[in-house]
Structure 1
Amino acid sequence: MDEQPSTPSSKQEPRQTNPWVITTILLAAISFGLLGINAYMVISIFNGATIGGGGGTVAPPAGDVPAPSGPVAVSVDDDPALGSANAPVTVIEFSDLQCPFCRRHFTDTYSQIKKDYIDTGKIRYVFRDFPLSFHPQAQVSAEAAECADEQGKFWEFHDKIFTEQNKQGTGTVTFTVDDIKKWGAEISGMDAAKFNSCVDSGKYKQEVQSDFNAGSAAGVSGTPTFYICKGTSNCQELVGAQPYAAFQQVINQQLA
């Protein structure tokens, strides 16, 4: 999948991308003898990330992305949202619940956006799933979040799963389905038995896949990716764990 940025001023920040790019580069490098004794480490030329044996990724430097062909429209579907349905601006996040850069956005930026824009009625914030295949628990985590949403606990689960991973480090964190169930059960008001049964059923697999397909169609290739839209049209794209100031600039432009 190729990325299709939708704003000339967009900047590419740390994100994670699909692994076929890394595999292709590795095979080419081996063919030309470009890998030395450190061949166990794969250098992702695609986004500048270094992926080693520690299970995490190192943030690549920020850089400009190519100018888009024009504004895009991105559907919010029926996905979980915060803020007024009548807000003039909609922010759509395509995210992976096992992605360390998505977690960085949650830790460093999300709460300030919520305080300044969601809670004040200026934006509606929509979460859509984009589980990357090289995160083994990303798919089931997304399905579990849908199960939590059945009980009106989506955002509590969203916050919980990122918070629990933060306790274990800054890179990609390994966890199990049992961990997911444990974290869900710790959320106040959650019916744990109902939640666990829902997670085991796999009933939301297609719902998550539909989000992924929508993201791919919009040009998403890594996480997190954000579309900041007037309504759900004329969307500007921000890619990666952008600082708050980057969101502030684009949101204010869309509010003007």
Structure 2
Amino acid sequence: MESEVSNEKNSGSSLLIPGAIIAAGALVALAVIYSGSGGAGPVSSKKTETPPAASENSPPVSGNIADDDPSLGNPEAPVVVVEFSDFQCPFCGRFFQIVEPRLINDYVKTGKVRFVYRDFAFLGPESTWAAAAANCANEQGKFWEYHNYLFEHQNGENQGAFSQNNLKIFAKTLDLETAKFNSCLDSGKYESEIAKDAADGRAIGVSATPTTFVNGVQVTGAVPYEQIKAIIEAELAKANK
């Protein structure tokens, strides 16, 4: 049960970008977004109110962006939407709450879109643990239930919300086979898979979360649903020609 969740803390590796020093030594604070820097670690603010700027100006990315990661919808759908995400990222939480339900209802359930989730776990150890836990849940056919539960229980970065103990409690709450889940999580077996997702993301221009690809068209940031919908409609129109 949720009331069982412990309050244990885990140290993170979140860094605050310093403000630029200008003439006369005046200090000007720089805006901070949730962004990754070459995979070397998180570059983020704990309390960021402005979402990453949206961008869809780059040429479409080709190749198998989806890889073999968890997906929803028709495997033969004409449009594939791939989200690179971090379970601790608040803007990814916003995407989950606002964009994802409408995307699933309007396009995934109608067979027009396949939605793929890929990890871009860069905000600290609890991001990696949460991603590993979701992969362990996937072994028991409950990736999406666990994915949803994680986003519904975000509570800051590396403050203990996604401690390994809590992740095991979540599995119990979702009626997973706990012995199998706990063994999977303790083994660290998905560390290389999570690292591969991040490396694949960086290779195609992912530097912030959430970053979404719609048939290879990149959209960076917590954008309105209508923006993604417009790209999907354009891709569907191409497919119907």
- Whole-angstrom distance in 1 between the partners of 2:185 and 2:165: 10
For residues 17-36 of structure 1, the aligned pairs below 5 Å read 23=17, 25-26=18-19, 28-29=20-21, 33-35=25-27
> In the alignment, does 2:178 pair up with 1:192?
yes
- Whole-angstrom distance in 2 between the partners of 1:155 and 1:47: 23
**Among 44, 50, 59, which residue is 2:50 paired with?**
59
Corresponding position of 1:253: 234
- Return 5+ residue gaps in structure 1 as ranges: 1-17, 37-41, 230-234
Corresponding position of 1:6: none
- Whole-angstrom distance in 1 between the partners of 2:236 and 2:56: 24
C-alpha contact 1:56 1:172 (8 A) present in aligned 2:
no
- CA 1:186–1:94: 2 relative to 1, 3 Å: same
Deviation for aligned residue 1:77: 1.2
- CA 1:31–1:222: 2 relative to 1, 3 Å: farther
Which aligned segments of 4 or more residues in structure 1 are displaced greater than 6 angstroms?
A: none
> In the alignment, does 2:236 pair up with 1:236?
no
- CA 1:179–1:71: 2 relative to 1, 3 Å: same
For residues 146-225 of structure 1, the aligned pairs below 5 Å read 146-165=135-154, 168=155, 172=157, 174=159, 175=161, 176-188=163-175, 190-225=176-211
For residues 58-207 of structure 1, the aligned pairs below 5 Å read 58-60=49-51, 62=53, 65=55, 67-68=57-58, 70-74=59-63, 75-132=65-122, 134-165=123-154, 168=155, 172=157, 174=159, 175=161, 176-188=163-175, 190-207=176-193
- Return 5+ residue gaps in structure 2 as ranges: 1-12, 36-43
C-alpha contact 2:87 2:150 (8 A) present in aligned 1:
yes
> In the alignment, does 2:212 pair up with 1:226?
yes
- Scaled by the length of structure 1, the TM-score of the pair is 0.75
C-alpha contact 2:51 2:222 (8 A) present in aligned 1:
no
Overall identity of the aligned pairs, in %: 41
Residues 224-252 of structure 1: CA distance to partner in whole angstroms, max 9, x if unpaired? 000000xxxxx211111111111111100
Amino acid at match of 2:168: K
Count of residue pairs brought into register by the alignment: 214
Deviation for aligned residue 1:124: 0.4
Between 202-211 and 241-250, report the one with greater CA deviation: 241-250
C-alpha contact 2:72 2:116 (8 A) present in aligned 1:
yes
C-alpha contact 1:99 1:135 (8 A) present in aligned 2:
no
